[in-house]
Structure 1
Amino acid sequence: MSIRTKVIVIEPYNEKWKLEFEKIRDMLDSYIGDLVLSIEHVGSTSVEGLSAKPIIDIDVVMDSYDNFPEIKKRLEEAGYHHEGNLGIEDREAFSYVKNRFMPYHLYVCPKDGKGYLEHIALRNHLRTNRDAREDYTALKTKLAKEYRYDADTYCERKTKFIQKILNKTLYSNKS
């Protein structure tokens, strides 16, 4: 069962998000730590001072797809369900049935995958740029009010802002 946001609620940054990520990371590490390069906290909850939906985004980073069959097997044994890439190339989504943590999205990505590289570029820029953090908080708060029951439009309307950051960071040297 995938977490599907029915009502968009943006909350001020909460230190609890970092602690919850650490608990989830430690649990995932016990299942697949020997098969992956890292387990990264990405998305808005990973940026101190940024308001966010209280759902943690996690990228499990693998060296290559060669390790994916064993990662998938172990995650399924632990109660996760593989959902495919959900339309994003180089990203494998997993949902869970039982959960003792706050809600989270789990993705397994190759280290050179577009989705992972974009998550890291956006996260790192927002962590180091207060103006961008404040602008993004304002945008998300406004969109959450306008599209409270329409998650697709909420996400779509953030795209231009995110793409602008990616063009300044990850894609700045590309022609």
Structure 2
Amino acid sequence: MLTGVAITVVPYSPEWPKLFAGVADDLTRALRGVPVVAVEHVGSTSVPGLAAKPVIDIDVIVEREDVRAAIAALVRAGYTHRGDLGVTDRESMAEPDTPRRNVYVCVAGTLHVRNHLAVRDILRRRPDLRDRYAAVKTALAQDPELDIDAYLAGKSPVLQDVLAESDLTEDEKDAIFRLNTGA
């Protein structure tokens, strides 16, 4: 848990897709020779019009047997492997430079990947949910004492409404809620 670290949420920036494209190009070059299913821009910065923490979230999606090769390639490119940080089938990679980003090597087809893609796609096509989500995030970020765990938990009710529009099962939505709230 990060305590005492302010959560900053800013209005949407049209620069975010450009920053993602540049990092995605770099990742694709670094991963040359590794079978990659996709490099996806996920998280709030991937949704036009959505307020977000100014950090680009990227899922590098590979088959299970290619996870080690993808991690090794990214380490050679300057990333630091931080482990799964408590999320099975998702390996966190710390960025070597700017822009600020979260890069994850993810196993294709897993709940984590399907969750990220569902939230992104639903918020892109549902401005009402996007705006509600933005209002919740912005309000939460106003509390200077809020830690990242409380921030994630505070966003969970609206995220469950977003996921109600997805094809995830009730058990999968419940698992995501428990992960986000620590319940």
- For normalisation by structure 2, the TM-score amounts to 0.85
Same amino acid, percent of matched pairs: 35
Contact 1:84 1:92 in 2 (8 A): yes
Q: CA deviation at 1:6?
A: 2.1
- 1:79 matches 2:78: yes
- 1:103 matches 2:96: no
How big is each residue's C-alpha offset from its partner over 1:36-70, in whole Å with a ceiling of 9 and x where there is no partner?
011000000000000101001000011x2111121
Contact 1:10 1:54 in 2 (8 A): yes
Aligned counterpart, 1:136 = 133
Aligned counterpart, 2:56 = 56
* Change in CA separation of 1:65 and 1:131 when aligned onto 2, cut-off 3 Å: same
Q: Distance in 1 between matches of 2:3 and 2:69?
A: 27
Q: CA deviation at 1:167?
A: 3.0
- For normalisation by structure 1, the TM-score amounts to 0.89
- 1:121 matches 2:118: yes
Contact 1:147 1:153 in 2 (8 A): no
2:6 partner letter = V
Q: CA deviation at 1:144?
A: 0.6
Q: Distance in 1 between matches of 2:100 and 2:111?
A: 24
Contact 2:30 2:77 in 1 (8 A): yes
* Change in CA separation of 1:5 and 1:147 when aligned onto 2, cut-off 3 Å: closer
Structure 2 unpaired stretches of 5+: 173-183
Structure 1 unpaired stretches of 5+: none
Aligned counterpart, 2:40 = 40
Aligned counterpart, 1:94 = 93
Q: Distance in 1 between matches of 2:144 and 2:126?
A: 26
- Could you say what secondary structure the match of 2:167 adopts? coil
* Change in CA separation of 1:130 and 1:82 when aligned onto 2, cut-off 3 Å: same
- Could you say what secondary structure the match of 2:30 adopts? helix
Q: Distance in 2 between matches of 1:162 and 1:67?
A: 30
- 1:160 matches 2:157: yes
How big is each residue's C-alpha offset from its partner over 1:119-159, in whole Å with a ceiling of 9 and x where there is no partner?
00000000000100110111111111135542221111111
Post-superposition, which runs of at least 4 consecutive aligned residues in structure 1 deviate over 6 A? none
